[in-house]
Structure 1
Amino acid sequence: MDIKDIFLRLAEVDSPSGYEEPMMRHMLSELSPLCDEVHVTPRGNVVGVQRGTDEDAPTVAIEAHMDQVGFIVANINDRGFIRFRRIGGALERTLMGQHLRAVTEKGPVTGVVGLKPGHITTPEEARSVPPLNEMYIDLGAKSREEVKSMGIEIGTPMVWAAPPVELANGLIASPGVDDKAGLTSIIAVADRLKGVQIPSTVYYLAVVEEENGLRGAYSVLYDLDVDMAVAIDTTSAGY
């Protein structure tokens, strides 16, 4: 199993926090061939289990979160421009001029965060970042009705519309690295341990809504007999 291929498959699945259903289905398909059993909790967490050979051996859980930082449509004006709010910890300075993708039942719809042209920007504006409530998304639509015809309503989730970029030394930059890198890790471990006789039972946990306050992680262990757990997440690069 190739690590990069696992990650790139995961990177194709949009999973803004609170809207993880597509990633939940994907993780079920990834873990089902590797585990003795797989189920989804009422909260939406995916749990895969590889049974150990010794019922008295310590049990281990390996956890990563399925959700990613995103945005949500807050308003659509009569000219078809969208005001939006964040889901999770997105920073305003990362947004100006960026492409965002709405996740709709009709399929993805891409727009751009509007940026005032340089020739009408004041020196003060050029040195500052506008607050989120002053930003807007331009889909190219001409009216509120046209936006709605695309499947976009108030409450529609959005994510960055940036594909993964392969860097030097086998590294990948992608908006979804947090935490699709962690999900990649638990799939790779499950693949490595498939069919291996070890004493301990191992639980593979893909949880929801980490970006919204660790909501999935708080509940996932309540019904599991786990002696130790490892949470896999990302950290900063270059700082």
Structure 2
Amino acid sequence: MNTGQQNIESSAIEILSDLGRFTATSFWEDGPADYLAERAESAGLEVTIDPWGNVLATKTGSDPDAPGIAFVAHMDHPGYEVVARTGENITLKTLGRMGIAAGRAGTTIKVITESGEQIPATVSGAEPAAGELPKFKAAAAAGWLGTDTVYAKIDREAALGELPRPAVPDLPDFVIEGGLIRMRAADDLAGCAAILAALEHVANEPTQGNVYGIFTRAEEAGLIGARLAAEHGLVPKNTVIVSVETSSVLPGAEIGNGIVIRTGDRSTTFDHEAEAYLVEAAQRIKAKTPDFKVQRQLMNAGSCEATAFKGFGYRVTGTAFPLGAWHNRGESGVEPEFISKDDFIGGAILLTETAKLSGTSPESVQAWLSESPDEESERLRSGRAKR
């Protein structure tokens, strides 16, 4: 690993460790948002906040007409919201899709007060699933909670402040062990950290097109921030969108085998013209670092923000860090999510190299198809003439 890559690693790990301290429950992303905005400004990037709280960091290119690149990640993670309290009993609504153990009696959580104090609470159960029983059985069989209402007990003397208040699983903020990063909310604070580390590295390097970091809100509640950013043109329509996700491990997208170039998600297949940037960047890295690992796969466990932007006419592609214990669904209950440290660092390096290509419009992997195969054409033609 060269000095530049070592600097990217140091920054990426520091940013992710810092982000892990914050509450990241959907609609409660102020902590990550403030941190990302302040650090981006310190790096010399232009920072704006849209009306919905999405954070946009911009590194300006030399050609205002060149197509820029926007790396997109969400700041939120599934969690709870306290909506009612009677003495020691609290009622919570889940925000985002959570595993079945999130509503299981005995699961421990932390309620975040207005002053920022973390108050321990213990889940006592969940509301029976609404709707059709087969649908609930299917969700349970897949390990998902089939309801959005959970009950818990808390110290009756604890002052929470005005409701609602966010709550999170009682899990480690950030730990590195055995080559794995384990944390409460890798999805998608890892994407945010990789993007900002890449932007910091290229902040003072010349690029033809603009390079953007878009950090969105409430993705787990239905791609809300991304849909609003795309609908209202937060970045120009000729911008290439790169979703930077942390997504469930799948065959062909394995932990430890490198960052995944994502060709699609559960809802959408992506654009090869946009993917060409990632492919070209990976080839450049491999030319200098032959053992650099990268995978390529359509990851259909969930939908990502590329789908939101594609719905509004943008060219999109994506990357993903293969993720274990997706949405804290562990083998033994609610557990920290985990990703490979090497995959994470490799992803930050890939984003950095991709950012340098902004405005260059590299040829797609299909460009060779436009070259007429004259010699082979003549052989086919002459062969038929002899019959």
1:49–1:138: structure 2 CA closer, same or farther, 3 Å change rule?
A: same
Equivalent residue number for residue 40 of structure 1: 49
Rounded Cα–Cα distance in structure 2 between residues aligned with 1:103 and 1:159: 8
1:88–1:57: structure 2 CA closer, same or farther, 3 Å change rule?
A: same
> 1:218 aligned to 221, 227, 234, which one?
227
Rounded Cα–Cα distance in structure 1 between residues aligned with 2:192 and 2:89: 35
Normalised by the length of structure 1, the TM-score is: 0.82
> 2:243 aligned to 206, 212, 231, which one?
231
> 1:86 aligned to 81, 94, 101, which one?
94
Q: Alpha-carbon deviation of 1:30?
A: 1.7
Q: Alpha-carbon deviation of 1:159?
A: 1.0
> 2:181 aligned to 169, 172, 190, which one?
172
Rounded Cα–Cα distance in structure 1 between residues aligned with 2:208 and 2:163: 51
1:73 aligned partner, one-letter code: V
1:200 aligned partner, one-letter code: G
Note if contact 1:69-1:87 (Cα within 8 Å) is conserved in structure 2.
yes
Deviation larger for 10-19 or 92-101: 92-101
1:130–1:216: structure 2 CA closer, same or farther, 3 Å change rule?
A: closer
Deviation larger for 31-40 or 207-216: 31-40
CA shift digits 1:26-53 (9 cap, x unpaired)? 1111211224310100110000110111
> 1:201 aligned to 194, 200, 210, which one?
210
Rounded Cα–Cα distance in structure 2 between residues aligned with 1:109 and 1:44: 26
Rounded Cα–Cα distance in structure 1 between residues aligned with 2:149 and 2:220: 23
Q: Alpha-carbon deviation of 1:10?
A: 0.3
Rounded Cα–Cα distance in structure 2 between residues aligned with 1:102 and 1:4: 27
CA shift digits 1:188-235 (9 cap, x unpaired)? 110121211111111110011101111110122414214211011111
Deviation larger for 18-27 or 6-15: 18-27
Q: Alpha-carbon deviation of 1:11?
A: 0.2
* SS of structure 2 residue aligned to 1:178: helix
Q: Alpha-carbon deviation of 1:24?
A: 1.4
Note if contact 1:102-1:152 (Cα within 8 Å) is conserved in structure 2.
no
What stretches of structure 1 of length at least 5 have no aligned partner?
116-128
Equivalent residue number for residue 121 of structure 2: 111
Aligned residues: 219
- Higher RCO (CA < 8 A, seq sep 6+): 1
> 2:154 aligned to 139, 142, 150, which one?
139
CA shift digits 1:130-188 (9 cap, x unpaired)? 976785323233xxxx34xx12554211111211232312x112121011001011111
Note if contact 1:66-1:207 (Cα within 8 Å) is conserved in structure 2.
yes
Note if contact 2:93-2:149 (Cα within 8 Å) is conserved in structure 1.
no
1:130–1:59: structure 2 CA closer, same or farther, 3 Å change rule?
A: closer
Rounded Cα–Cα distance in structure 2 between residues aligned with 1:220 and 1:175: 26
Rounded Cα–Cα distance in structure 2 between residues aligned with 1:187 and 1:99: 32
The structure with the larger Rg is: 2
Equivalent residue number for residue 190 of structure 1: 199
Rounded Cα–Cα distance in structure 2 between residues aligned with 1:173 and 1:12: 13
Note if contact 2:99-2:145 (Cα within 8 Å) is conserved in structure 1.
no
Note if contact 1:16-1:70 (Cα within 8 Å) is conserved in structure 2.
yes
User: What aligned pairs does 1:1-150 form with structure 2 within 5 A after superposition?
Assistant: 1=7, 2=10, 3-78=12-87, 80-96=88-104, 97-107=106-116, 108-114=118-124, 136-141=151-156, 146-147=157-158, 150=159
Runs of 4+, deviation exceeding 4 Å:
129-135
Note if contact 1:35-1:49 (Cα within 8 Å) is conserved in structure 2.
no
Note if contact 2:114-2:162 (Cα within 8 Å) is conserved in structure 1.
no
Rounded Cα–Cα distance in structure 2 between residues aligned with 1:186 and 1:131: 34
1:61–1:135: structure 2 CA closer, same or farther, 3 Å change rule?
A: closer
Rounded Cα–Cα distance in structure 1 between residues aligned with 2:196 and 2:149: 41
Percent identical pairs in the alignment equals 25
CA shift digits 1:103-141 (9 cap, x unpaired)? 2212222222248xxxxxxxxxxxxx9976785323233
Q: CA RMSD in A?
A: 2.4
Note if contact 1:37-1:49 (Cα within 8 Å) is conserved in structure 2.
yes
Note if contact 2:62-2:206 (Cα within 8 Å) is conserved in structure 1.
yes
